[in-house]
């Protein structure tokens, strides 16, 4: 997903990945103006019927994914900001199970 994000720092909105959470679906969207990538994942939220949106810098998302291991339980935390203004946090909890 990160490879589809733009690298031009003069256009910061294109250097991020839009993360949308809607109930049990997480959508990741990135574009560099010439191509677009969309990935939808299903998950098991601790709070059902939740929705949130955040624009995560692609560099941050890439570094975070490298620091996590396969099978690790991941906790997402989002602020109650407005649409597109949310702040997201990632917490690795060790192996799921």
User: Tokens standing for 50?
Assistant: 């939740």
Task: Quote the number of domains for the chain.
Answer: 1
The pLDDT of residue 36 is 87
Q: What is the pLDDT of residues 14-67, one digit of tens each?
A: 778 888 888 888 899 988 878 888 999 998 877 666 777 888 888 888 888 888
The pLDDT of residue 94 is 64
Would you say the pTM of this structure is higher than 0.75?
A: no
Is 43 in a helix, a strand, or coil? coil
- Domain hosting 47: range is 2-95
CA distance 46 to 75: 9
8 Å CB contact between 57 and 15: yes
Question: What CATH number has the domain bearing residue 82?
Answer: 3.10.150.10
């Amino acid at each position: 997903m990160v490879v589809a994000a733009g690298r031009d720092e003069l256009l910061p909105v294109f250097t991020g990945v839009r993360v949308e959470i809607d109930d049990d679906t997480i959508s990741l969207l990135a574009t560099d103006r010439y191509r677009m990538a969309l990935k939808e994942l299903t998950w098991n939220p601790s709070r059902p019927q939740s929705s949130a949106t955040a624009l995560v810098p692609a560099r941050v998302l890439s570094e975070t994914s490298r620091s996590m291991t396969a099978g690790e339980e991941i906790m997402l935390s989002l602020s109650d900001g407005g649409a597109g203004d949310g702040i997201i946090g990632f917490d690795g909890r060790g192996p799921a199970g």
